[in-house]
Amino acid sequence: MTRTLDDPKALVPLSEAVFQILLSLADEDRHGYGIIQEVGERTDGRLRLGPGTLYGAIKRLRGQGLIEEVEADWRAADDERRRYYHLTALGRELATLEARRLERLLMGARQKKLLPQRGMA
Amino acid sequence: MSTRASGGSSLERVYGLLLFLYPPGFRNEYGQELRRTFSDWYRVRQAGTAGLLVFLGEVLLDLARSVPHQWAGALRRYRSSHDLLEDDRRPPYAAAFIAGLLVFVLYVVTLAPSIGFWDSGEYTAVAHTLGIPHPPGSSLFVLLAHLWEVVLAPTGLTPVVSINLFSAFLSAGSHALWFLVVDRVLAGTIEDRKVRWIGAAAAVALSATAFTVWNQSNVSEKVYAVSFFTSALVSWLILRWRDTGCGLRRLVTIVFVVALTATNHLMGVLVVPALAAFVVLVDRRALKRPTFWLVALPVVALALSTQLLLPLRAAQDPILAEGQPECASIVGAVQSIYTWGASGCDALSAVLSRDQYGKPPLLLDPTLYPAKQAPRSAELIGLQLLNYLQYFDWQWGRGLAGADPLFGGMRPALTVLFVLLGLFGARTNWKADRETAIYMGTLFLTLSLGLVGYLNFRYGFAIAWDRFPAVSMHEVRERDYFFVIGFSVWGLWAGIGLVALWSRMAGIARAKVPVPRLATSPVLALAVIPLALNWSWASRADDFAARDFAYNALMSVEPYGVLVTNGDNDTFPLWYLQEVEGLRRDVTVMVSEYLNTSWYVKQLRQLTEPCPAGVDPDATPTRIVCQRAMKPGDLPLPLARAGWLQATEPPPDSIFPLSDEEIETIAGSYFVTDSPMTLRAGDIEATIASGTYLAPADTFVATMLRSTLGERPVHFMPGSSIVSTLGIEDYAIRQGLTWKIHNGPLPDDSEDGVVRIENSQLSAIAGAAIDLPLTDTLLWDVYIRRGRILKQDAPWADAASSGIPRQYAYAHYVAGETHARAGERSEMDRHLRRAAWWWQVAAN
C-alpha cells in the first residue's frame, strides 16, 4: 500500500543514503544496481550502498510516494527483468527541500569562513 | 575494478539463503532484485583474495544493517495494521496461552509418574524404541513422541514421564486453541472482551477437567492426544480462514493437518464432516476451485507419506513391530498407503486397514459376530446408547458415588445440570454465530452419536450383565476414551452456556437494582465442579501400579524363562519394563493373543535364537537380533540368594525351531481334536481332550513346550486358557504371580517347599502346587508395592484392570492357605491380611 505524504517537509532532514538515492534518480530512471553505481561514482566510492540497504530504502521511499516503479519499455531489450525506479514530483520536491537545507548550511559555513567563498580557491 | 564471473554461483546461492533472514514480505517483494544486484556487485569486486574478503565484509555489514531494520519495520507495520482493527477483534493469543499453561500445570500435577495399564506401556515402549504399535500403526504418534522424548532428554526426565508429558502438552495446547475458538464464538454476542475471556476460561476449565479428557491427558495411554490437538487446531484454523477472507493457503493448511492426523489415527479425521459443513456454509465455491484441488492433492500425498515409517522401520526388525508391516518393494508400500490398505503390500495393508480386529459390519450384532450374522437390533442400539450416556455421566462428577459406574448416586442430577448448560451454550452459540454453531454441533454429533453408530460396540463392560452374562458379549474394558473429543466439545458449550447464564442473571439483577456484574459471578463457580469432583478419579499422580506389576511379574520368572501372557494388561507393562527401563530382557514375553499370527512367532523365533559369536544384541537394543542376556544386576538380592544367578548361560536353541513355511501352516490351522491327543514335552506327558478346539496359539505354545521345556523355564500368567486346553494344569506350580510349568510329574510335598494344592477350587487360581518358599520370598521380599495404591481411599479408577490387584490377592490367599495347612498361623494371618488388602484395592 502506498501512502503519500501530506507535507514533505516533515521528512527533512534526510539521511545521506536516501538523499543520494533521490539525487541519482533526479536525472534518469535507474534500476537498483544503476543507483548503486551512480552513487558510488558520484561520491568517489565514499558511499557504497549494499543491496539490503538500497532496497530497504527503496521500499520505504516507494511507500512514501517519493519514487515509483516504472515500466521497463525500451530498456526491456537491454535488461527485461530489472525493475526501474522513477523520482515522483513529491520526491523531487523533497530532494529540492533537502538540497536547499544543505545549501543554507553551506552558506552559513562560508559566512563563518569555515569554507572558502564561492569562486575562491 | 575488474570483472569476475567465475565462482559466483555458489556465493549467490549462499546469498539466496541469507535472504531468508529478511521478513517474508520484504523477501518476496525484493528477493529477486537483491540477488541480481548482489551478482552485479560481485562481478565488479576488487580482484584477489583481499578483494573478495572486502566484498564479503561489505555484504555482511549490509545484512547486519538492513535485516534488523526490515524486521523492525515489519513489526511496526504489523502492529499498526492491527491497530486499525477493532482492538477486541484481535485473537487473544496471550490469554489463550495462559489458559493452556494453566491446563498444562493441572495435568503435570496429576501426571502419571510411570505407565498406566492398557496401551500405555505399549505406546511408551514404541515411542522410546521407534517401534510399531498395534494397528493402524500410528506412525505420526511414534515419530512425534520419539522426537519429543529426544528433545526432553537433556532435562533428565525419565522417558516415560517425557512421553506422558507429550500427552499433557498436546492436550493443554488443544485447550489453548479451544480458548481462541470460544472467544471467537462469543464475539458474536458479548462485546466486553474480558467477559468473553471469562467465558472462554470457563469453557476450557469444563473441557479440560471433564473426566475422560483429564484422565487421558495425564498419561500416554492412547494416541488420541494427537487427534485431539489436530482437531482443535483445524477448528481454530477454519475460523481464521473465514475471518481472514477464505484464502486458499489456510484451507490447504487445514487439508494438510487433517491428512497428517490420519497417519496417527482416523479419530482426527472425524472433524471432516464439521469442516465440510462449515466450508459449504461460508464459501462453497472454495471447494470448486481447481487451484484448491491442484494444491490440496499433492499436500495430502505428502502428509500421508508419513506412513512410510511403517515399512521402513519394519524392515529394520524393531524390537516391537506389531503386524510386521514389511513390504518387498517400495511400490507395494506406496500402493498400500495411498489406497489405505485396499491393495499393495499385504502386511502393511493389514495394519492400515486394521484387519486383525475383524470389526463386524455396522448392521450386524457384534455380540454374536462372526459365529452368527444377526442384525443389529433396536435393543442392542439402545444399550449402546445407554453405554454412551453412562460415559457422559462420568464427565462432570466422577467422584460422586464413584463406585457405582452406572448413574450412581446424585451424579445424574449433576449430569442434567451440565446437559442443560451445554444446551444453553449451543443456543447461545446459534444466536451469536450460526456457522460456528453448526460446526460445533456437527463436530459433537460426529464424535458422540456418530461414533456410537460406527464403533458398534458389544455390551458395555459394566452394563446388562444380568441379561447377557456371557463375557464374550461384553467389551473387555470401558470405552469412554473413544468419545474424549466429543466430551471436550460439550464442555466448551457448557462453558459458553455458563457465561451466557451469568450475563443473563446480571442483566436481570441490574434491571431491578444497580448492582455490578460481579454480584452474580458466583454462578461461575459451576465451572470448577468437575475439577473438584473428578480429581481423585482422574489424577494419576503417584500411580506406579502398572509399572510395579510389570516388575513383580518379570521377577517371578526364572532366568531365560518364557512367560506366556494373556492380554494387554499383563503384557504391555512388561514390554515397557524390558524395552524402556531395560530390565529382565532375558525373559521372553509371549502374549497368547498374538500367537495366532505368523509374524509374531517369527519375531519370537529370532528373538530367542542363540547369538552368534561376537554378536551382542544389547549393541542395538531397539532391534531384534538374538537372545538377550540375563544381567545379574537385574535380579534383586533375595533371588540371587535363591540361586537364580547360577543360570547365566543362554539356552542353546530358539523356542520355535520352525521354518517360515511351518509357521505359516500352523498360523492358518484351526481344528477340533477328534480323539484325545498326547502332548509330550520335556518330561511331561499331558492329554489334550477329544473335541478340544485348537487355535494356532495353542499349537504354537505346544510347539514351544516341546522344543524348550527343560532348557528354559516356562511360566504362564494364571488363568491362561492355553494351560487347560493343552491339559497341563497338573504341572503348573504357583511361583508368586505366575505359574511355572514343572518339567515332569510333580514331586510329593518335598523338602524344597513345593506343596500340592489338594483343594480343587483353590487350584483353579493356585495351580496344581505352590512353591511356598519362593512365593513367600517373591511376595514379601521382592515385589514392590508403593504409591497411590497404598492409600486405601484412592479409587482404582479402571474397573476392567482390577484383575491385577486380584492377582496379588490370589497369590497371598493361596500362600496363606498353604501355611494354614502346615499349621503356620502367623504366616497365614499375614498373607490373608495382605490378600484382603489387595482385594480392597481392587474393589475401590
Residue A11 clears pLDDT 90, i.e. is over it: no
| B28 touching A (Cβ < 8 Å) | no
Q: Are B815 and B831 in contact (CB under 8 A)?
A: yes
| A51 touching B (Cβ < 8 Å) | yes
Task: Quick: pLDDT tens for A17-68.
Answer: 899 999 999 999 999 999 999 999 999 888 888 999 999 999 989 988 899 9
Assess if residue B465 is contained within a domain. yes
More confident residue, B671 or A8: B671
Cell of B260: 497428517
Assess if residue B652 is contained within a domain. yes
Residue B43 clears pLDDT 50, i.e. is over it: yes
Assess if residue B482 is contained within a domain. yes
Task: Determine whether the interchain pair B70/A56 forms a contact, defined as Cβ–Cβ distance below 8 Å.
Answer: yes
In the prediction, which pLDDT does B76 show? 80
Q: Are B376 and B362 in contact (CB under 8 A)?
A: yes
Query: Going by CATH, does the domain composed of A12-111 fall within 1.10.10.10?
Result: yes
Task: Determine whether the interchain pair A83/B41 forms a contact, defined as Cβ–Cβ distance below 8 Å.
Answer: no
Residue-level length of chain A: 121
The domain boundary residue, chosen from B480, B512, B538: B538
Contacts of B28 (CB under 8 A, 6+ apart): none
Same domain, B594 and B721: yes
Kindly give the pairing relationship between strand B738-741 and strand B714-716. antiparallel
Residue B158 clears pLDDT 90, i.e. is over it: yes
More confident residue, B769 or A12: B769
pLDDT above 70 as % of chain B? 97
Chain B residue numbers with beta carbons less than 8 Å from the beta carbon of A48 are 58
In the prediction, which pLDDT does B357 show? 77
| B668 touching A (Cβ < 8 Å) | no
In the prediction, which pLDDT does B80 show? 66
Stretch B801-822: mean pLDDT: 95
Amino acid in the structure at residue B13: R
Residue B115 Cα, gap to closest chain A Cα (Å): 55
In the prediction, which pLDDT does A78 show? 52
* Total domain count, chain B: 3
Confidence category of residue B815, pLDDT binned at 50, 70, 90? very high
The residue range of the domain holding B718 is 545-843
Cell of B520: 452474580
The domain boundary residue, chosen from B512, B538, B564: B538
The C-alpha angle A5, A8, A10, rounded to 5 degrees, equals 100
In the prediction, which pLDDT does A3 show? 46
Residue B114 to residues B117, B158, B164, B223, B787, Cα–Cα distance (Å):
10, 9, 8, 17, 11
In the prediction, which pLDDT does A72 show? 62
List, in sequence order, every residue forming a beta bridge with B721; answer none if it has no partner: none
SS3 B771: strand
List, in sequence order, every residue forming a beta bridge with B564; answer none if it has no partner: B590, B716
Same domain, B461 and B578: no
Residue A80 clears pLDDT 70, i.e. is over it: no
Task: Determine whether the interchain pair B65/A54 forms a contact, defined as Cβ–Cβ distance below 8 Å.
Answer: no
Stretch B347-368: mean pLDDT: 90
List, in sequence order, every residue forming a beta bridge with B733; answer none if it has no partner: B740, B769
Same domain, B702 and B782: yes
Same domain, B717 and B691: yes
pLDDT above 90 as % of chain B? 81
Task: Determine whether the interchain pair B29/A53 forms a contact, defined as Cβ–Cβ distance below 8 Å.
Answer: no
Assess if residue B448 is contained within a domain. yes
Chain A residue numbers with beta carbons less than 8 Å from the beta carbon of B59 are 50
Task: Determine whether the interchain pair B66/A60 forms a contact, defined as Cβ–Cβ distance below 8 Å.
Answer: no
Same domain, B663 and B599: yes
Q: What are phi and psi of B794, to 5 degrees?
A: -75, 125
In the prediction, which pLDDT does A71 show? 73
Same domain, B654 and B726: yes
Residue-level length of chain B: 844
Q: Are B735 and B775 in contact (CB under 8 A)?
A: yes
Same domain, B524 and B414: yes
Task: Quick: pLDDT tens for B552-579.
Answer: 999 999 999 999 999 999 999 999 999 9
SS3 B50: helix
| A56 touching B (Cβ < 8 Å) | yes
Return contacts of A84-87, CB within 8 angstroms, 24+ apart.
Answer: A84/A29, A84/A30, A84/A31, A85/A25, A85/A29, A85/A30, A85/A31, A85/A32, A85/A35, A85/A58, A86/A25, A86/A29, A87/A22, A87/A25, A87/A26
Stretch B400-409: mean pLDDT: 94
Q: Are B428 and B496 in contact (CB under 8 A)?
A: yes
| A82 touching B (Cβ < 8 Å) | yes
More confident residue, B71 or B337: B337
Element at B716 (helix H, strand E): strand B714-716
Pick from A68-82, B92-106, B396-410: least confident: A68-82
> In 3D, which of B154, B148, B157 has the Cα closest to residue B229?
B148
Residue B83 clears pLDDT 70, i.e. is over it: no
Residue B7 clears pLDDT 70, i.e. is over it: no
Confidence category of residue B4, pLDDT binned at 50, 70, 90? very low
In the prediction, which pLDDT does B81 show? 57
Same domain, B673 and B805: yes
Task: Quick: pLDDT tens for B686-707.
Answer: 999 999 999 999 999 999 999 9
Residue B488 to residues B203, B427, B439, B844, Cα–Cα distance (Å):
9, 17, 14, 27
Task: Quick: pLDDT tens for B225-235.
Answer: 999 999 999 99
Q: Are B36 and B30 in contact (CB under 8 A)?
A: no
> In 3D, which of B141, B159, B121, B162 has the Cα closest to residue B310?
B141
Confidence category of residue B47, pLDDT binned at 50, 70, 90? confident
pTM listed for this prediction: 0.80
In the prediction, which pLDDT does A1 show? 41
Confidence category of residue B749, pLDDT binned at 50, 70, 90? low
Assess if residue B17 is contained within a domain. yes
Sign of CA dihedral B528, B532, B533, B538: positive
Contacts of B39 (CB under 8 A, 6+ apart): B8, B12
Cell of B672: 477340533
Residue B380 clears pLDDT 90, i.e. is over it: yes
Torsion of the alpha carbons at B342, B348, B351 and B356, rounded to the nearest 10: 80
In the prediction, which pLDDT does B342 show? 94
Same domain, B641 and B505: no
SS3 B759: coil
In the prediction, which pLDDT does B29 show? 87
Task: Quick: pLDDT tens for B489-511.
Answer: 999 999 999 999 999 998 888 88
> In 3D, which of B449, B674, B715, B427 has the Cα closest to residue B564?
B715
Residue B84 clears pLDDT 70, i.e. is over it: no
Residue B839 clears pLDDT 80, i.e. is over it: yes
Distance CA B757, CA A84 (A): 100
Same domain, B519 and B593: no
Task: Determine whether the interchain pair B22/A81 forms a contact, defined as Cβ–Cβ distance below 8 Å.
Answer: no
Confidence category of residue B514, pLDDT binned at 50, 70, 90? confident
Residue B122 clears pLDDT 70, i.e. is over it: yes
Question: Please, which residues 9-48 of chain A have a Cβ atom closer than 8 Å to chain B?
Answer: 32-33, 36, 48
| pLDDT mean across residues, chain B | 93
Assess if residue B301 is contained within a domain. no
Q: What are phi and psi of B364, to 5 degrees?
A: -105, 155
Residue B66: which of A32, A53, A83 has the nearest Cβ? A53
The domain boundary residue, chosen from B31, B52, B84: B84
Beta-strand runs (E) in B461-606: 562-565, 588-591
Task: Determine whether the interchain pair A52/B66 forms a contact, defined as Cβ–Cβ distance below 8 Å.
Answer: yes
In the prediction, which pLDDT does B6 show? 47
Residue A102 Cα, gap to closest chain B Cα (Å): 26
Residue B212 clears pLDDT 70, i.e. is over it: yes
Task: Determine whether the interchain pair B67/A36 forms a contact, defined as Cβ–Cβ distance below 8 Å.
Answer: no
Residue A32: which of B22, B26, B37 has the nearest Cβ? B37
Counted across chains A and B, CB pairs separated by less than 8 A come out at: 58
Same domain, B534 and B550: no
Q: What is the Cα Rg of chain B in Å?
A: 31
Cell of B9: 554461483
Same domain, B468 and B559: no
Residue B30: which of A48, A55, A81 has the nearest Cβ? A55
Mapping DSSP onto H, E and C, the string for A58-99 reads: HHHHHHCCCEEEECCHHHHHHHCCCCEEEECHHHHHHHHHHH
